[in-house]
């Protein structure tokens, strides 16, 4: 995967279908060999700085463990501990950290901050989440589907809920990799139009369909996998009560799931608010693969790190 060395991973759309498939294949290999007890020292002596402006469970633990399992080291850098918390320009932080580290992962609010960090850093920058995109999560989702179905091309994936960073990256990765996708959100909560346009270009090139609708049953009809996420993301807590009322028809429950094909997989990036965007019965049911997704953050990020660093 040498041709990806030194590149940033801000969006799945920055990589070709072949490159994304290569990352997924490497993730499958690393996962299989980890289970077999084989150690990998692909990043021996390498360091990853992890800049956190938002709290995290899966992102922090999975990146730290990923670097350790690859023979490297990860450093947790909270915004409060860095000088950016005291007003140092991000471009100065980027250039300073580049003198110490082999890569930087950032989890922040504004996507422009990740872009600025990447513009001024001389080492690869990985998007651990911004308000616009969550590409590592989408790659873990693609890995989960690939494991369960043995293929990605032509799979029908539905997403119901908020048009947020998770569905943005899901749309880009899915359409890049040849999946059919349908997205249903309440009116006024649709995905960002620029992301929709980019995903439509991917779909046109792949010869697949992308449906963006306000009808959750239409989106889920015939789907082989159904995905949802929290109705109010970090920073939107004040809108929580209003959103719960508006989003109720989009709850992933047994009635909505029945519109999908029998045995359709249930996906959620976690954390989940049981009784809101998804019911306890569906989340804990036999069709749920949400903890496979959570585990796959580790394996896919190991592949990304090994490719870039």
Question: In terms of Cα–Cα distance, which of 227, 108, 118, 121 is closest to 168?
Answer: 227
Question: In terms of Cα–Cα distance, which of 137, 164, 185, 138 is closest to 232?
Answer: 164
Q: For residues 105 and 126, is the Cβ–Cβ distance under 8 A? A: yes
DSSP class per residue in 34-76: HHTT----TTTT-EEEEEESS--SHHHHHHHHHHHHTT-EEEE
Residue 271, preceding peptide bond in cis (omega within 30° of 0): yes
In this structure, the chain runs to a length of 309
Tokens at residue 190, please?
């649709």
Active site residues: 107, 134, 137, 229, 269, 297
């Amino acid at each position: 995967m040498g041709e990806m060395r030194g590149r940033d991973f801000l969006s799945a759309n920055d990589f070709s279908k072949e490159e994304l498939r290569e990352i997924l294949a490497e993730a499958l290999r690393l996962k299989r060999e980890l289970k077999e007890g084989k150690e990998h020292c692909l990043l021996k002596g390498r360091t990853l700085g992890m800049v956190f402006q938002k709290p995290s469970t899966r992102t922090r633990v999975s990146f730290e463990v990923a670097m350790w399992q690859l023979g490297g080291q990860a450093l947790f850098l909270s915004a409060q501990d860095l000088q950016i918390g005291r007003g140092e320009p991000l471009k100065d932080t980027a250039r300073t950290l580049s003198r110490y580290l082999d890569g930087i992962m950032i989890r922040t609010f504004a996507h422009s901050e990740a872009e600025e960090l990447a513009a001024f850093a001389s080492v690869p920058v990985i998007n651990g989440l911004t308000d616009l995109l969550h590409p590592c999560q989408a790659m873990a989702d693609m890995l989960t589907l690939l494991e369960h179905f043995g293929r990605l091309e032509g799979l029908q994936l539905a997403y119901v809920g908020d048009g947020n960073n998770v569905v943005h990256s899901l749309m880009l990765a899915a359409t890049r990799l040849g999946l059919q996708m349908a997205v249903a959100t309440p009116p006024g909560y649709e995905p960002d139009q620029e992301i929709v346009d980019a995903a439509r270009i991917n779909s046109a090139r792949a010869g697949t369909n992308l449906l963006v609708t306000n009808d959750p049953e239409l989106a889920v009809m015939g789907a082989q996998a159904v995905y949802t996420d929290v109705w109010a993301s970090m920073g939107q807590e004040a809108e929580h009560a209003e959103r719960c009322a508006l989003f109720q028809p989009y709850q992933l429950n047994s009635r909505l799931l029945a519109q999908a094909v029998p045995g359709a997989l249930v996906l959620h990036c976690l954390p989940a608010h049981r009784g809101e965007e998804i019911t306890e019965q569906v989340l804990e049911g036999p069709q749920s693969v949400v903890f496979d997704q959570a585990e796959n953050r580790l394996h896919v990020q190991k592949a990304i790190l090994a490719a870039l660093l």
